[in-house]
Structure 1
Amino acid sequence: MRVHGEAGWTGRLVPLPVDGLIYASSMVMLDSARRKTPVPALARWLLGLGIAATLAANVAHGLGHGPIGVAVSAWPAVALVGSYELLMMVIRRSQAGFDGTSDSRTTADTLQEQAAQVFAEQLAADRVPSIRTIRAQLVGQPRAQRLRDYIAAGQES
């Protein structure tokens, strides 16, 4: 970075905002996937801009060494973005398993029906059972939370 006027620690920190932009945009997209809401256009644009910026900087760095220098310089950016997006795909897919949209749907539906039956008296009295109660009578903590959310949503309808 000294060639471009940056020296010392500031020269080493310059790539962080670009990589941070890629990270932040990906996190917004992941959050949208988890909440089942549309991805904000700004997140998509900034992700594309971050990828373009990091590739452009790396390619510019390798230009002085010919096509092989360009390829070698561009590779770390491609590898970072590619591996990070693969990780996001895995996380999004695993999240789908928690909301009942994967093969565990039958199990989730059965538990939801069972929970509605077990807690019918409380629901009739307009009381949603606590997580502790659901966990004690049916399942562990994560499943109890999902069941409580399901039961509470049924009460609001």
Structure 2
Amino acid sequence: MVERLIRITTALAVLAVAAVAAVISYQHAYELVSSHGESGITARLVPFTMDGLIWAASMVILDASRGGRHVPGLAKWSLGVGIVATVGANVAHGMNHGIVGALVSAWPAVALVGSFELLMMLTRSAAASTNPYDQGEPPSVVIGSGLTQGGTIGTTTAQSTEDMILADYVASLNGPGKPLSQRFLADRHGVDRRKVKQIISTVAPPQPG
């Protein structure tokens, strides 16, 4: 409960900082674009393309990392270009006031980019805490069910090819028809027949009724 509360309040704080920084950064970029020949709808939309590119690239990177896939090079390149563009626009906006003015003007853009990345980190950590695979807990694999030697229906779980072969063979001993052949098990699991023979040799043959 405490951990969830910490995560929620942190996310709210990050979102609040991001919202304030986005408004100020947009205003700086809008004034810069307006003072360099653009007007109307164009001047109002250009700033959105900078921060929007950062957001879109961050989402692609987040999706790839959560899915365990390779991050596309275009996403990395777009994120870098978007950061350079929005920080550069804010720096240029404050250059008329000297170095200090440029640094002050650039701060909202830096805060916005940092907020994006913090939000991505929170999302990753939240997904990891709810996914047992990310916590080193390997799943059990249900590989078949059938009549056990005691006459009851049971389900076999395993994590290796050897266990699955053994479970399939044991389940077939008391089933209808003949037990599964070594050739069938070898073809089904993609192993050598000698390996199958070695595995099932540990099982006692079925007793005649």
Which TM-score band (shorter chain)?
Answer: 0.5 to 0.7
Task: Give 2:69's aligned residue.
Answer: 37
Amino acid at match of 2:90: N
Tell me the percent identity: 50
Give ranges in structure 1 of 5+ residues lacking alignment.
125-155
Higher helix share: 1
- The 5 Å alignment of 1:74-85 reads 74-85=106-117
TM-score normalised over the length of structure 2? 0.50
- How far did 1:99 drift? 4.7
- Name the CA distance, whole Å, in 2 between partners of 1:6 and 1:123: 70
Q: Please identify the structure whose Cα radius of gyration is greater.
A: 2
Give ranges in structure 2 of 5+ residues lacking alignment.
1-32, 147-153, 157-188, 191-209
- Name the CA distance, whole Å, in 2 between partners of 1:100 and 1:23: 28
Task: Give 2:86's aligned residue.
Answer: 54
Higher strand share: 2
Provide Cα deviations, 1:77-122, integer angstroms capped at 9, x if missing partner. Answer: 10110011011011112222315212xx44xx5xx44x839x8459
Task: Give 2:57's aligned residue.
Answer: 25
Would the alpha carbon gap of residues 95 and 70 (structure 1) be closer, same or farther in structure 2, given more than 3 Å must change? Answer: same
- Compare relative contact order (CA 8 Å, sep 6+) and give the higher one, 1 or 2: 2
Would the alpha carbon gap of residues 6 and 101 (structure 1) be closer, same or farther in structure 2, given more than 3 Å must change? Answer: same
Runs of 4+ in structure 1 off by over 2 angstroms are 119-124
Provide Cα deviations, 1:129-152, integer angstroms capped at 9, x if missing partner. Answer: xxxxxxxxxxxxxxxxxxxxxxxx
Would the alpha carbon gap of residues 123 and 20 (structure 1) be closer, same or farther in structure 2, given more than 3 Å must change? Answer: farther
Match 1:66 to one of 79, 98, 102: 98
Establish whether residue 93 from structure 1 lines up as the match of residue 125 from structure 2.
Answer: yes
Aligned length: 118
TM-score normalised over the length of structure 1? 0.65
